[in-house]
Structure 1
Amino acid sequence: MILASCRTPDLPNDALEFADDALLDIVQRQTIRYFWEGAHPVSGLARDRQKTAGDAPNDLVAIGGSGFGIMAIIVAVERGWVDRAEALHRLHRMLDLLEGSPRYHGMLPHFINGSTGDTIPFRRKDDGADIVETAFLFQGLICAREYLDQTASEEQRFRARVNTLLAQAEWDWFARKGKLYWHWSPRHGWAMNNPIEGWNECLLAFVLAAGSQHHAIDPDCYHDGFARAPTFENGRNYNGIVLQLGPNFGGPLFFAHYSFCGLDPNGLSDRYADYWQQNTCHALINHQHCVLNPHGHKGYGADCWGLTASHGPTAYIAHAPDRDVGVITPSAALSSFPYVPDQAMAALRGFLTKPRDRIWGRFGFVDAFCENRNWYARTYLAINQGPIVAMIENHRTGLLWKLFMGAHEVRLGLARLGFTRTGATQQKDHLGADTVHASPSRRKAAGFVAT
């Protein structure tokens, strides 16, 4: 069941007077409802999108979004908002469908039917394996496996089921010509021809692929593929902020969020970058662009910022400083709490000054808005709602970072790729006063060594 403390359909009229932690509780608690109450009724997996009023009239389930949803459910259990046994039952129900769904060399597609498990093509030739979406699913499953660490039979069975799915993922099969390929189709083969290269949201896939027990990739796929592309290293200065990696101005902010819901960038570095510095600078550049507002978009400022992929008045766009059409996506700022907490809190409070009935609803903040056109989305997206919950929790307690970084395959993958990790000196001690219902899982070590 979802506990009474999670039933807050309306934002209190005096919410702006609340302390910061109380506001974060409200945002997390309401956003979690997308993945609990708004989940697919048969499988419990995350619908790709939902409306502000009424459930989606289709069975479209997002594999990556479901991974973020699993992380949100773990947060809800830890904070006492969802019953642990009910969450475990939901997770088993998810696995029931996933295990019976078509997999392509162990990988799932971008979308599946939430009732039948059948593949739903993302594009005409994208009707098979999507290893990046699968990586986001695995990120959530690994966190859940590490969290559900009790000896009770159902928790043991859950861990075994997750391990089986992970073992069946043939990462090495997707490594060809010295690179790791994003897609494969049973009808069209490698026709998508999309090697994963250049800085983007895909670091997680390389870590899991390198750490696989039975199907590990050669680390050269990372160094000579992902990291060799012209759009990987940057080093340029943007209004006084130097960006180590990525396209001009950093690209959409989900680059700093999707892989890092589980990967802890604190003290994490390799030969290319310090990842805490990389993600913080990316967020600062995004924030500064909205403050400077070179295009004169209505509403932009220190309390209204954040450019990432989302719906817009005319289309779904990967919004970024160099592709800025006036659309603000709340997830961009709210998922940046670990990197720029003061700026993120200013945005949260600023969003609450917008028309309440248009920017806030049953699953939290709507996907996006554009004040130039007095447009507010009437939708939510799983891949934007999920990181809000996960990254706010990482800011508050580090829960998901500790769970994921404690996993053997993650530690091994990072070590094989040449990552090192020093103490978490940039961030507060995550086992501080904000720890809610501390479990043994939360205290797992986060260092790693090659084995």
Structure 2
Amino acid sequence: MDQTLVHGKTGVGAEDDALLDKVQRASFQYFWEGAHPQSGLARDRSGKSADPNNDLVATGASGFGFMAILVAIERGWIERPAAITRIETMLTALEHTKRYHGVFPHFFNGADGSTIPFSLRDDGGDLVETSFLFQGLFCVRQYFSAASAAETAMRDRITHLWHAVEWTAHIKHGEKVLYWHHSPRYHFARNVPIRGWNEALITYVLAAGAPRHGIEADIYHEGFATGSQFINRRDYYGINLPLGPDYGGPLFFAHYSFCGLDPRGLSDRYADYWEQNRNHVRINYAHCVENPHGYRGYGPDSWGLTSSHGPTGYVASSPASDFGLIAPTASICSLPYLPDEAMHALRHFFTLPRGKVWGRFGFVDAFSPNSGWFARTYLGIDQGPVISMIENHRTGLLWSLFMSAPEVRQGLQKLGFTSPHLVDSAQSIMEPMA
């Protein structure tokens, strides 16, 4: 495994560049052409041929949308001034959004900023979605590093939003764990502690690095790093899994937090996170190749189980809960971990019926090769990581930006992580790209 922190292609042949460009650029349009028309923020979902007829936007998907815009600038798909104008519009919408101790809700109205409840008793702050938002905002702040009035103001606005987040408001009195949701009406009734290995490592890193209302390290060690689904260390398909539930869970565990957090060389007392994520992906791939349920269409060129749309609604797919659904985002976002296998899958997806598997924003959310079902929708939280994880594999752009943020470094150090990004001698190769 190459842990060199440089901007350069790793493991992608020249013949694949055009395909990766095609997928990234189409997925980017979800966040550019398909964004909410007033706020510029990301819709939760959209159709293969038409936008939804509502004002619902998603906090976490909007974080991925900010990252997508940076990739688009670097790849020459949009001009820097147009990107700045769009980001300023998005920041204005965020500043006018109803927050709860500075924490954003899961969903809100892009036109007026009012909260749209995600579910019963979930009508307040969502700490994990807020973390995904700030993952993107930190990348923006690090990227726009010029001394101009416009870029200085942008950085200040992001920092102001960041300082308003009261991470400790999501801790119950007398407990040492962060809670996912808090509502002014229902308080902690939703009752979901952020515990055990899942997609939320970034939440604890940001909470530990916050200069105001931040957490101490014991909240991470006694909260997140506990429970029956944290330490694993068992073998599946002959592959050892350091952390997580049996067979690793859905693949977004290896993607969402790691659009910004660079897993290369990242470790703490519990795991090497490159090994964790790579082995998680290897298990997912091995399961689809072995195909114990005998689903038609599974194999080395057709793999990837994660949460996605299904024929009867949103489902969380994994080797332990396999519904016969292949989600292109799962294998494509795994490009940094298994580049050859991911490229095999990407090429295969282009051989499927074009009118069913591909639309205005790229590959549809999921399909069932066993039944012939194809989604007619896209999900923001699946589209965004496609852009980010491909770019991280190709250039390391977003890893470099996010890991250059002083608050991120402080959070990692406080929690006891080691990373090449934390070594002073690595500073020169981790400067934001301007």
Fold match, TM over 0.5?
yes
Q: Residue 153 of structure 2 is aligned with which of 128, 134, 157? A: 157
Q: Residue 432 of structure 2 is aligned with which of 441, 446, 449? A: 441
Deviation readout 1:125-165 (Å, 9 max, x if unpaired): 00000000000000000001100111121111100000000
CA distance in 2, matches of 1:423, 1:346: 31
Q: Does 1:145 align with 2:164?
A: no
Residue 234 of structure 1 aligns to a residue in which SS?
A: strand
Deviation readout 1:215-258 (Å, 9 max, x if unpaired): 11011111001111111000001111100000000000000000
* Percent of aligned pairs with the same amino acid: 59
Residue 403 of structure 1 aligns to a residue in which SS?
A: helix
Q: Residue 307 of structure 2 is aligned with which of 284, 306, 309? A: 309
Is 2:403–2:421's contact at 8 Å kept on the other side of the alignment? no
Is 1:266–1:423's contact at 8 Å kept on the other side of the alignment? no
CA distance in 2, matches of 1:349, 1:273: 33
Q: Which runs of 5+ in 1 are unaligned?
A: 1-16, 425-430, 432-438, 444-451
Q: Residue 22 of structure 2 is aligned with which of 22, 26, 30? A: 26
Map of 1:375 onto structure 2:
373
CA distance in 2, matches of 1:373, 1:51: 21
Map of 2:8 onto structure 1:
none
Map of 2:261 onto structure 1:
263
Residue 413 of structure 1 aligns to a residue in which SS?
A: helix
Q: Which amino acid aligns with 1:441?
A: P
Shift of 1:422: 3.9
Residue 186 of structure 2 aligns to a residue in which SS?
A: coil
Return the TM-score normalized by structure 1. 0.90
Question: Looking at both structures, which has the greater relative contact order when contacts are Cα pairs under 8 Å and sequence separation is at least 6?
Answer: 2
Shift of 1:66: 0.4
CA distance in 1, matches of 2:72, 2:420: 30
Map of 1:363 onto structure 2:
361
Aligned residues: 414
Alignment CA distance shift 1:404-1:246 (3 Å): same
Write the mapping of 1:273-352 to structure 2, written as runs, cut at 5 A: 273-352=271-350
Shift of 1:442: 3.4
Moved over 6 A (4+): none
Residue 416 of structure 1 aligns to a residue in which SS?
A: helix
Map of 1:205 onto structure 2:
203
Shift of 1:440: 5.3
Map of 1:10 onto structure 2:
none
Return the TM-score normalized by structure 2. 0.94
Q: Does 1:105 align with 2:98?
A: no
Residue 244 of structure 1 aligns to a residue in which SS?
A: strand
Alignment CA distance shift 1:77-1:423 (3 Å): closer
Shift of 1:175: 2.3
Q: Which amino acid aligns with 2:149?
A: S
Residue 233 of structure 2 aligns to a residue in which SS?
A: coil
Q: Residue 236 of structure 1 is aligned with which of 231, 234, 237? A: 234
Alignment CA distance shift 1:220-1:423 (3 Å): closer
Q: Which amino acid aligns with 1:147?
A: Y
Q: Which amino acid aligns with 1:96?
A: T
Residue 121 of structure 2 aligns to a residue in which SS?
A: coil
Map of 1:61 onto structure 2:
57
Q: Which runs of 5+ in 2 are unaligned?
A: 1-12, 423-428
Residue 336 of structure 2 aligns to a residue in which SS?
A: coil
Residue 432 of structure 2 aligns to a residue in which SS?
A: helix
CA distance in 1, matches of 2:203, 2:403: 14
Map of 1:48 onto structure 2:
44
